[in-house]
Amino acid sequence: MSAPSRLRIAVVASDAASRSRLAESIAGSGHEIVDLTAAPDAILTDCAVDSSTPAPVVAIGSVEGEIAGRLPPDATGEQIDAALRAVTAGLTVRGPSPTNRKFGPLAEEVWPVLTPREIEVLAALSDGLSNKAAARRLGISPHTVKFHIESLFKKLGAASRAEAVAKGLRRQIVEI
């Protein structure tokens, strides 16, 4: 089943200015703006809405309550359109966390320390290279690559190449 290209959206805003701003943000997507009582497919809001609303809600900015779609205040028209379609399809939408939290300690040694060769082999694995291709890139034999991969598996507690790459990527590189 494909989603209808034109949704019926009710706009609930804190004041007239933000109402017209919200309406404008979806104007380009071709949706029909309807009254809250006219069986909308979804509701777009920037303020608290009654929890007994008849349709899933997409909220812009920080809005209290259980809400199907949450977007940051600077969400683009495309993002709002995508969120409205997603909640209409019964999905939950979350934008990236509103504040880019960067504060925290420098990464210390949470992981076993790798050798320079293991780091190079891990980089080759994350580029999707085969053992043979990794060996060519590093100028060592495929047998040696295999040896380093086994050591990586053991150190990172990984059972597959994908797991080793995933765990290896979490190793934090510190910029100083």
Partner 1 sequence: MPDIVQNPLSGLSDTLVERARQAQPLVARIEVEGRPARSGTFWRKDVVVAAEQAFARVEEAKVMLSDGSSFAAHLAGRDPGTNVVALKLDGTPDPAPFTDADPHPGALALAFGADEAGVSVRLGVIHSIGPAWYSRAGGRIDRRITLDMMMSGREEGGPVLDADGGLLGISALGPRRRVLVIPTATVEGVLEPLLNKGRIERGWLGLALQPVLVPEGMQAEAGQSRGLMIMGVAKDGPAAQAGALAGDILVTLHGEGVSRPAMVAQRLGPEAVGQPIELRLLRAGKVLSLTATVAARPSG
Residues that bind partner 1 (CB under 8 A): 61-62, 73, 98-109, 113-117, 119, 171-176
* Three-state secondary-structure class, residue 90: coil
Smallest distance, partner 1 to C-beta of residue 141, A:
18
Smallest distance, partner 1 to C-beta of residue 116, A:
6
Smallest distance, partner 1 to C-beta of residue 175, A:
5
- Residue number with CB closer to partner 1 (39 or 48): 48
Structure tokens at 164: 């080793």
Return the residue matching tokens 């989603």.
3
How far apart are alpha carbons 37 and 66 in whole angstroms?
Answer: 20
- Residue number with CB closer to partner 1 (30 or 112): 112
- Residue number with CB closer to partner 1 (20 or 62): 62
- Residue number with CB closer to partner 1 (16 or 113): 113
Whether the CB-CB separation of 96 and 79 falls below 8 Å is answered with no
Instruction: Provide the residue type at 74 as one letter.
Output: D
Smallest distance, partner 1 to C-beta of residue 172, A:
8
- Buried b / exposed e along 9-38 (16+ C-beta atoms within 10 A): bbbbbeeeebbeebeebbeebebebeeeee
Whether the CB-CB separation of 34 and 8 falls below 8 Å is answered with yes
Instruction: Provide the residue type at 142 as one letter.
Output: P
- Residue number with CB closer to partner 1 (6 or 170): 170
Smallest distance, partner 1 to C-beta of residue 21, A:
11
